[in-house]
């Protein structure tokens, strides 16, 4: 078995693509999600196997996975089999096939039962749609991390991770006490 194909040994949809988005190999779960047999997927561009309204998101996901060293995530709706579509949180990340040295993009669905961090994605999407900002507070580390949303709020804190004291100092004085109480309550619950 090819070393890169070990990435496909998962129950969730998974595929290895060339940097230009052509499917090199995929597992049975991905073929089922795409609503086609494996033989009809290999050698075709991944985005061409999706519905028209999913292609822009998928293209961005693949471009990011092929051109950066960081992972990217998007919610994609796959055609599935029959009339039921399959909605997944999909991650792309660059990988190198150790046997050939070929650069590939590993595209796979995340299983929220094993990746609790991926559960933040729906909150990020909802915050963006509502015009709200989303922060994640780590009271034990005294840090707040900006997760996206309202650009006006993001401008207040140019770094992604900010000391909690700095966030509190920028709040309206009437709100500071409530935020401190909330943070201390969260810290006590996680201890």
What's the pLDDT score for residue 134?
Answer: 72
Strand partners, 137: 144
Instruction: Please tell me the total number of residues recorded for the chain in this structure.
Output: 191
What's the pLDDT score for residue 186?
Answer: 58
Three-state DSSP state, 101: coil
What is the pTM (predicted TM-score) of this model?
Answer: 0.61
Confidence class of residue 177 from pLDDT cuts 50, 70 and 90?
confident
Closest CA to 124 of 74, 71, 166: 74
Per-residue pLDDT at 132 exceeds 50: yes
Better-scored residue on pLDDT, 82 or 36 = 36
Distances (CA, A) of 28 to 8, 25, 73, 140, 157: 9, 10, 21, 42, 44
Q: Give the range with max mean pLDDT: 7-11, 24-28, 171-175.
A: 24-28
């Amino acid at each position: 078995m090819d070393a890169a194909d070990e990435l496909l040994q998962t129950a969730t949809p998974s595929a290895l693509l060339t940097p230009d988005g052509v499917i090199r190999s995929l597992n049975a779960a991905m073929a089922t999600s795409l609503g086609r047999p494996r033989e009809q997927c290999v050698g075709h561009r991944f985005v061409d196997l999706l519905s028209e309204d999913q292609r822009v998101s998928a293209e961005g996901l693949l471009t990011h996975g092929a051109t950066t060293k960081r992972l990217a995530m998007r919610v994609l709706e796959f055609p599935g089999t029959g009339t039921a579509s399959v909605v997944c949180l999909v991650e792309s990340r660059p990988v190198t096939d150790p046997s050939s040295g070929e650069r590939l993009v590993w595209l796979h669905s995340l299983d929220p039962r094993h990746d609790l961090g991926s559960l933040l994605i729906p909150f990020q999407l909802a915050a963006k749609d509502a015009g709200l900002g989303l922060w994640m507070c780590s009271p034990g580390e005294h840090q707040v991390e900006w997760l996206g949303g309202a650009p006006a709020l993001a401008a207040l804190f140019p770094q992604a991770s900010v000391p909690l004291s700095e966030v509190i100092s920028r709040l309206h004085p009437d709100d500071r006490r409530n935020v401190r109480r909330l943070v201390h309550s969260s810290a006590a619950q996680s201890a």
